[in-house]
Amino acid sequence: MRKVIRKFVANEVAPYVEEWEEKGEFPREIVKRMGELGFLGLRYPEEVGGQGGDYFSVIVLAEEMARCGAGGFPMAIAVQTDMATPPILEFGTPDQIERFLKPAIRGEKLAAIGITEPNHGSDVASIQTRAVRDGDDWVINGSKTFITNGPRADFITMVVRTSDKPGYEGLSLFLVELDRPGVTISRKLDKVGMRSSDTAEIVFDHVRVPQENLLGEEGKGFYQIMWQLQGERLIGAAGAVGMAQYAYELARDYAKERKAFHRPLSQFQVVAHLLAEMATEIEAARHLTYAAAYRFARGEVPTKEISMAKLVAAQVAHWVADRALQIFGGYGYMMEYPIQRIWRDTRLYRIGGGTDEIMKEIIAKQMNI
């Protein structure tokens, strides 16, 4: 499967990344293509249109997608496969699976996940976007920001406040079609990196959604989104490992070809030792990620270990990208070389899905420190 995905990325993604980065978005056709190939439902059961694979199939997908040389498009696909849709399978009704999950697996509908708000990020319990019951419907008012796929998504899996209960007790999840009256893409965000993934701020002004779009149990949204975040962080760790591996390979190959003082850079001890250290850090991050993924695949939710994997993999990815750029020297700082894009893209791993600081806070609490 890894060989098949790697061939697909090399032939159908990597040649077009520069174009997508320039445009700030990827074509919807590539999502449909991935759906046709079964890549969007690798670990989903066959009865919902998936391939019936194990959890490691999406770990492989995340690693191999990074070989396109950009983080934006792989991140958008990860939102589709492992952020916006898992709660539908876990908590959704048969009707919701038919209307949202199956079309997403086929690549016919593009999904987004909505947690962060302009004034609320890591503190999920403080979310202000509100849904008020009105007969058989709910009326949603508020806004979400940093929404990957937001400008073109067909629906968003979002957490909103449905009662006046304090903190996390009043939160619920909804599936909201983004063509409903009152939904506005207030602005498309201009990011430092991950540019082939379009990102938006979305405003909800008296958006009416039916009761059947409530995902799971009313008032249990905090628990449901915390469950979702474990998978999001784990797939983020896998993507970071994949990006680190690709950056390392670029630097290694460049060091073998580039000559200084009549010999390849790789023959200088300082470069050889740096490459050895990079490879070691990547392998450590990979094994920590795989260990957490193994437990997650068995039905466990090892929050501490997932947070550790996300923290380490994110830091290693950017550390490796920074060292790889250094090996490229002045060329690494030129826009024509892909290492500069990887350097920019890997910085987001330490922010999205939970910052380094939040991961440390979770780990400390799990250790009763």
pLDDT at 44: 97
Which DSSP category does 67 fall into? Answer: G
Single out the residue of 79, 45, 50 nearest to residue 62, CA to CA.
Answer: 79
Bridge partners (DSSP) of residue 209 are 138
Q: What's the CATH fold of domain 223-366?
A: Butyryl-CoA Dehydrogenase, subunit A; domain 3 (1.20.140)
Q: Spot the catalytic one: 25, 232, 281, 305.
A: 232
pLDDT at 167: 77
pLDDT at 177: 98
CA–CA separation, 219 and 173 (whole Å): 8
Q: Are 177 and 129 in contact (CB under 8 A)?
A: no
pLDDT one-digit tens code per residue, 81-110:
999 999 999 999 999 999 999 999 999 999
Q: What's the CATH fold of domain 112-219?
A: Butyryl-CoA Dehydrogenase, subunit A; domain 2 (2.40.110)
Handedness of CA 54, 58, 61, 62 (dihedral sign): negative
CA–CA separation, 117 and 131 (whole Å): 15
Its CATH class, for the domain covering 2-110, is mainly alpha
Mean of the per-residue pLDDT values of the chain: 96
Is-catalytic flag, 90? no
pLDDT at 11: 98
Kindly give the confidence (pLDDT) of every residue in the chain, 369 residues in length, as a single tens digit, with 9 standing for 90 and above: 999 999 999 999 999 999 999 999 999 999 999 999 999 999 999 999 999 999 999 999 999 999 999 999 999 999 999 999 999 999 999 999 999 999 999 999 999 999 999 987 677 878 899 999 999 999 999 999 999 999 999 999 999 999 988 778 899 999 999 999 999 999 999 999 999 999 999 999 999 999 999 999 999 999 999 999 999 999 999 999 999 999 999 999 999 999 889 999 999 999 999 999 999 999 999 999 999 999 999 999 999 999 999 999 999 999 999 999 999 999 999 999 999 999 999 999 999 999 999 999 999 999 998
pLDDT at 36: 97
CA–CA separation, 87 and 74 (whole Å): 20
Residue extents of the structural domains in the chain:
2-110, 112-219, 223-366
